[in-house]
Amino acid sequence: MNVETLRLLLRRLAWSLGVVFAVTTATFFLNRAIPSDPARMVAGPQARPADVARIREQLGLDRPLSVQYAIFLSRLVHAGPSSFDARKDGAHATCGHLGPLHLDLGRSYQQRRPVVAILKERLPYTAVLALAATALSVLLGVGSGLVAALRRNSWIDALTVGAALVGISAPTFILGVTLQFVLAYQLGILPLNGAGDGLVDEARHLVLPTLTLGIFGAAFYTRMARAELVELLQQDFIRTARAKGLPPWRVVLVHALRNALVPIVTVIGLDLGGLLGGAVITEQIFSWPGVGMLAVRAMRDRDGPVIIGTVLVGAVAIVAANAVVDFAYALLDPRIRHH
Amino acid sequence: MRWIRRTRELLPALLAASAIAIAGASAGLGCRKAPAPIGTRSAGPPQRGGTLHLANTVDLRTLDPAVAFDTESQPYLELMYAGLVDYDDKGAIVGDLAERWEMSPDGRTYRFFLRRGVKMQDGSDFLAADVKRSVERTLHPKTSCPASSFFERIEGYAALQAGTSEQLPGVVVEAPHVVAFHLTHADATFLAVLALDFLRPVCKTAGARYDDTFGAHACGAGPFQLDDWQPGRFLRVKRFDGYWNAAATHLDAVELRMNVPRLTQRFQFERGEQDLLNEFERPDRVRFAEDPRWAPYGVQRIDGAVYGEFMNVEMRPFDDARVRRAVAAAINRPNIQRYLEGGSLVTGHLFPPQIPGYDPTYAGQVYDLAKARTLMAQAGYAYDPATGAGGYPETIAYYAGDGEGSLRWAQLLQYDLAQIGVRIEIKVTSFSQYLAETGRRRTARMGWAGWNLDFPDPSDFLDPIFASKSIQQEESQNHAFYRNPALDELLERAHDELDPKARIAMYQQAERIVVDDAPWAFEMYPMRYELVQPYVRDYRAHPIWLLYVRDAWIDAKGRPTQTAALGGRRLGAALGALLGPRAR
């Protein structure tokens, strides 16, 4: 790795941290700007004012906003012991840590548990769903787009384009409920909802949400891949490759598809980043215990620390996905690598 | 030509895909008739065994009774924790962990004699010291108990809250099985609030002070104990055979799936994967409720709550009682009842039927359009319905809830009030924003108002929402900012009155003051509709608790297998069912 690359990486890292910090800060203040009282939401609509006031004090919400923000920042990322017992060590009871680097998002107002611990429970579900759905979207979408492009203007092309149009037009809440109704309720071949227990059961529970997100995403990738490939297959370098006598599969997969993937990878990165932040509607339909469902509940309950936590997850996911996309560009296109 | 050719090719694919999507969506969203009940109901004595499967649309916040004040957690706290006293199925207070109790003549001391041989779920003996420790744990200022002030009359409460004492001298262990509560002055509501969950004894593992982690290993003295809790997903409680009345507990376990949408709950119920359904999409509730096959398995009851409209008496035009009375008289309750589809019951009362003092012979606020127009004219806002001229000149913002039902309700109200020249503009807000703005002084002139039962006592429906001491600059629960010295004085006297008959009479008088002065226009009692599977027995609507399954049992013979409940798994059968009404 040369100095220039290192400098680029460091600049990129600083930019990413800046974005995450800005998003987190904006969320903190926006959350406070909404005209509602989190202490009231914790206590319940019928709690007496004296009890609400005490809870407000316990949550630190009676302090000036600047003080609240200073406390939030001082705790957010800090140094601490590499190993500790959260139950016994009050100062780090709400921390998650990577060695001596601690992340502390505080305690959920509603669940009264550390936000980091809640996110650690939810993130694996969201990550598995996001990866599975993206993989399905890309394989199905790029595959069918490729077939449609190669069989341009045939009935296969028409069927593929038509199906993709329906897929894009059908929102996930229609597609999800329809799949749930047919495959789980009527046919009984898949569970209706939940996340299951044990590897096989969990895999069965993963199928419906993956299909919902995957089909929706695949429809988009189909149209995109088809459009890119139709254009590329008419380019001079493809004609040259064919004239050189390269096998057709090599022309298509190595020369055409590789070039078509450059814009597609951008979208994959953004999609994956978005899904890692939580597939809000799909998680709701299938009671999938991911970050998306957590975010919705937190916003409804005005659970500030959890809202910030879920936004942070989303921001980090988008930033990380963008970074991965940039590196993928370099792999796919040597011109970018050289620049 | 090329465009036409492609369209022709696309058309069949588009049509087929659209048909599948539309059929699936419409079938799933309730365009079909209700399926027949599955399983059977047979005669016979209660059977022990089986798991009751439940679901809800939200997450449980906590399993610690000290900090839970939400309707979602309450049914499960009721299973896991037993109190000194509880409500029976008529709503009367009965002993649970306390065998009996006595009250001193001045009403300031309650002495409880505990059952002997009772075990906590950690295996330890239940003693009076557990009661004191649990009470002090809940009422300690570092515990976020949202109902701490219910117990403010216990001696030493103020010092404990102020942090000048770590003890509560008002709770005295007089013997291993005798505990006394000393109050600063008489409180006729004491037993009613003691029967709530907050002070229920917790195991020694809970510690002497509140700990956020206790909910994960919740432990009390109730008929069920925690087996597995995965927040956001799943809760399972299993029967605790050490409970003093374990012989009356029939179920092996109760399981709750959380965050399940209403439509999915319906699917689960129809497949036999869920045994009780009480959260419905509106069309589903109607179609089940109107289906005679489901009539034996439906449970309908009036919730302990009252809904209506608050009118801010500090803001025009509601600073004039005649305008408030006109609004109360303009609400066409009989017409509204037609639109509620059985989901609520209209009323002109403050007290729901569960509350002592409810008087079915009292008419309360009634619909009388002519009287309403006369009152408006007397207030200087005469309105001519023929021309639409007159009435109150400004448009009033009405704070509605954010649900579909709230909006429909607001629209009906908008029409009724237009008949007397009061024009409202519906302002839809989130619940948190609604609470913040309607509780702020001189901010909201009018809006939806509701109060749910905290404990079955008339004071609970008067003190927090109509007493002037409940008025605050922010967070006021008295959303009407209603101030009436005569009412305040009456409420103070009633709170201390120990003679039940005299006390009820005072509260009935207070209700009439509020109904007549109309800081609220009372409109309806929400109703709850629940469906149980035929094989679930002895589930009854409880007058106080929203969901009470302690007595339920499963008729194993009547419970079908899940496959049978599906009506087959063949694709043909499924498509047939998808595209048309189900035969069974």
Structural domains present in chain A: 37-104 (no CATH), 116-338 (1.10.3720.10)
Q: Residues B107-148: pLDDT tens digits?
A: 999 999 999 999 999 999 999 999 999 999 999 988 888 899
Q: Identify the three-state secondary structure at position B299.
A: strand
Residue B55 per-residue DSSP state = E
**Across A296-319, average pLDDT:** 89
**Confidence class for position B7, pLDDT limits 50, 70, 90:** very low
> In chain B, which residues have their Cβ closer than 8 Å to the Cβ of A192?
264, 267-268, 271, 273
- Integer CA distances (angstroms), B116 to B171, B173, B249, in order: 20, 15, 19
Tell whether B437 is within 8 A of chain A (Cβ).
Answer: yes
Confidence at residue B13, expressed as pLDDT on a 0 to 100 scale: 47
Contact B459, B507 (CB under 8 A): yes
Q: Which residue has the tokens 């109050």?
A: B183
Nearest one of B121, B129, B114, B116 to B63, comparing CA atoms: B121
Contact: A45, B20; criterion CB under 8 Å: no
- Mean pLDDT of chain A, nearest integer: 86
The ipTM estimated for the assembled molecules is 0.85
**Model pLDDT for residues B493-551, shown as the tens digit of each residue:** 998 888 999 999 999 999 999 999 999 999 999 988 999 999 999 998 888 898 899 99
Q: Taking chain A, what is the end-to-end CA distance rounded to the nearest angstrom?
A: 14
Within an 8 Å CB–CB cutoff, is residue B58 touching chain A?
Answer: yes
With an 8 Å Cβ cutoff, is B166 touching chain A? Answer: no
Pick B569's closest partner by Cβ from A36, A49, A187: A187
B104 CB near a chain A CB, below 8 Å?
no
Q: Determine contact: A285 vs chain B, CB below 8 A.
A: yes
The most confident of A310-314, B84-88, B493-497, by mean pLDDT: B84-88
Q: Which of B470, B261, B130 is nearest to B462 (CA)?
A: B470
Structure tokens that stand for B456 in this block: 């079955």
Would you give the end-to-end CA distance of chain B in angstroms?
51
pLDDT at B292 over 60: yes
Here the tokens at position B464 are 């927090």
Question: pTM of the prediction?
Answer: 0.85
Asked if A102 is an interface residue toward chain B (Cβ–Cβ < 8 A), one would say no
Helix (H, G, I), strand (E, B) or coil at B453: coil
- Kindly indicate the confidence band of residue B581, based on its pLDDT and cuts at 50, 70 and 90: very low
Question: Could you tell me which of A227, A287, A284, A222 has the C-alpha nearest to residue A259?
Answer: A227
Better-scored residue on pLDDT, B446 or B578: B446
pLDDT in tens, B183-218: 998 888 999 999 999 999 999 988 778 887 888 889
Q: What pLDDT is recorded for position B295?
A: 86
Distance between CA atoms of B137 and B206, rounded to whole angstroms? 9
Shortest distance between the Cα of A112 and any Cα of chain B, in A, equals 6
Whether residue B231 lies within 8 A of chain A, CB to CB, comes out as: yes
Which residue in B2, B18, B145 is closest to A166 by CB distance? B18
Q: Binning pLDDT at 50, 70 and 90, where does residue A90 land?
A: low
| B73 → chain A, closest CA residue | A111
H or E segment and range at residue B389:
strand B389-390
Which segment of A82-91, A92-101, A115-124, B247-256 scores lowest on mean pLDDT? A82-91
DSSP three-state, residue B215: helix
* Residue A339: predicted pLDDT: 57
**Fold agreement between B78-211 and B306-525:** no
Helix, strand, or coil here: B344?
strand
Task: Work out the angle between the directed axes of helices A199-232 and A172-179 (0-180°, nearest 10).
Answer: 130
Give the model's confidence band at B1: pLDDT under 50 very low, under 70 low, under 90 confident, else very high. very low
Kindly report the CATH number that applies to the domain delimited by B78-211: 3.90.76.10
Nearest chain A residue to B271 by CA distance is A185
Asked if the Cβ–Cβ distance from B271 to A192 is below 8 Å, we say yes
Label residues A21-35 b or e (16+ Cβ within 10 Å = b). eebbeebbeebeeee
Q: Using a CB-CB distance cutoff of 8 angstroms, which residues of chain A are in contact with residue B573?
A: 186
CATH code: domain B306-525 is 3.10.105.10
Q: How many CA atoms lie within 13 A of B305 on its CB side?
A: 16
B239-273 residue pLDDT tens: 999 999 999 999 999 999 999 999 999 999 998 89
Which residues, including other chains, have CB under 8 Å from residue B508's CB and lie 6 or more apart? B357, B359, B362, B458
Return mean pLDDT, chain B. 87
Q: Where are the domains positioned within chain B?
A: 78-211, 306-525
Query: Strand, helix or coil at B230?
Result: strand
Mutation target to probe the A interface, by most A beta carbons within 10 A, among B4, B8, B14 is: B14
Judge residue B389's burial from the number of C-beta atoms within 10 Å of its C-beta, 0-12 exposed, 13-18 middle, 19 or more buried: exposed
Q: Round the CA-based radius of gyration of chain A to a whole number and report it.
A: 24
B443 inside 8 A of chain A by CB:
no
In this predicted structure, the answer to whether residue B26 has a pLDDT above a threshold of 50 is no
**pLDDT of amino acid A322:** 83
pLDDT-based confidence at residue B12 (cuts at 50, 70, 90): very low
| pLDDT at A86 (0 to 100) | 64
In contact, B265 and B67? CB cutoff 8 Å: no
Whose tokens are 């384009």? That residue is: A161
Q: What is the pLDDT of residues A19-59, one digit of tens each?
A: 888 988 998 898 888 777 888 888 888 888 888 888 888 88
> Is A50 in the B-facing interface, judged by CB distances under 8 Å?
yes
Identity of the residue in B67, B271, B430 whose CB atom sits nearest the CB atom of A185: B271
Of A47, A87, A180, Cβ closest to residue B146: A47
Q: What would the mean pLDDT of B81-91 be, rounded to a whole number?
A: 93
pLDDT value for A42: 84
Q: The tokens 């496959």 sit on which residue?
A: B563
3-state SS record for B156-181: CHHHHHHCCCCCCCCEEEEECCEEEE
- Least confident range of A80-84, B223-227, B378-382, B572-576: B572-576
- B173 — phi, psi (to 5°)? -85, 105
CB contact under 8 A, B24 and A153: no
Please give the angle made by the CA atoms of B283, B284 and B287, to the nearest 5 degrees.
Answer: 85
Residues of A in contact with B268 (CB under 8 A): 192-193
Are A54 and B437 in contact (CB < 8 Å)?
no
Whether the per-residue pLDDT at B48 is higher than 70: the answer is: yes
> Looking at beta carbons, which residues of chain B come within 8 Å of A107?
212
Residue B260 CB contacts under 8 Å (≥ 6 apart), including other chains: A193, A287, B55, B56, B57, B268
| Candidate from A35-44, B15-24, B172-181 with smallest mean pLDDT | B15-24
pLDDT at B344 over 70: yes
